[in-house]
Structure 1
């Protein structure tokens, strides 16, 4: 069941350039990597090489956590959101194209430096199921 993110969380997530994605590996150990995300229609999307460990992990166990945070030396201004959800790798089609376009718009260098092309690249869709936030 999808979880609707609050307006404050959505606004915060949209401004963040990087999130940390946690997946669970075959050895039951956490795998945590940075990803560049966009939010479209209540889902969070990012691109990845199809053969990447994070993609292999989420294909086996689709529960993931994304953490977005703002850190500074003034701790009274710390903020973040930890979003748990169900992930799915999208290999082609209209959802792939819409998410790719959104990623290209937010991250101008993507198309030039790391083009999102199937089948070498997948788009991962995260459907939020829980959210914990602070400082928002």
Structure 2
């Protein structure tokens, strides 16, 4: 699955009477959001538990096929939350952009896709995973624990300039 190029629009219009800039020239390109994710050492993943309560946790994030991916133990709270409700939000504060990506998570499966995500983790963090029998393992830890990769397919995203005055909304067309 590859992420498509979203429609960029101002988050606020002049009639909204906000302190945000309403000049279309201040729209941020999606490439800037991807660069923010690429350079982030960690981000925050927010999920919803079965009782409706929110859960947030810091996670390492990589891009695979143009979409953010995280690694999590299959029985962790975040993985169990995503299994029950795929809606998720990733937030990250970058040098020139604060980013909120809202979307739906799905567990990555299939040898080729798993290897792509594993390669992205190895490249960015030096964190290596072994893929065997369609499962992801960390051989560097005692017991070779299993991990799950989740890819977040963005539905909408928001980018806020560090100047505190600019805001962009990106909407993704999902069919």
- Shorter chain as denominator, the TM-score bin is 0.7 to 0.9
**4+ runs deviating over 6 angstroms:** none
Establish whether residue 7 from structure 1 lines up as the match of residue 31 from structure 2: yes
Counterpart CA distance in 2 for 1:37 and 1:97 is: 15
Q: What's the C-alpha RMSD, in Å, of the aligned pairs? A: 1.9
- Give 1:16-95 correspondences, 5 Å limit: 16-70=40-94, 79-95=97-113
Residue segments in structure 1 that go unaligned for 5+ positions in a row: 71-76
Contact 1:4 1:128 in 2 (8 A): no
- Kept in 1: contact 2:33–2:97 (CA 8 A): no
Shift of 1:11: 1.2
Tell me how far apart the structure 2 counterparts of residues 87 and 22 of structure 1 sit (CA, whole Å).
11
Determine which structure has the larger helix proportion and give its number.
1
Q: Which has the higher contact order (CA 8 A, sep 6+)?
A: 1
Q: Which residue in the other structure is 1:131 paired with?
A: 157
TM-score, L = length of structure 2: 0.65
What residue in structure 1 maps to residue 14 of structure 2?
Answer: none
The alpha-carbon distance between structure 1 residues 92 and 48, as it changes in their structure 2 partners (threshold 3 A), is farther
Q: Give distance in 2, aligned partners of 1:124 and 1:33.
A: 14
Residue 82 of structure 2: SS of its match in structure 1?
helix
Unpaired segments ≥5 residues, structure 2: 7-29, 137-145, 163-175
Q: State the Cα distance separating 1:4 from its structure 2 match.
A: 2.9
| Bigger radius of gyration | 2
Count of equivalent residues:
125
8 Å Cα contact 1:44/1:127 also seen in 2: yes
Q: State the distance in 2 between where 1:116 and 1:30 align.
A: 31
TM-score (norm 1): 0.83
1:101 aligned partner: 119
| d(CA) in 2 for partners of 1:124, 1:16 | 17
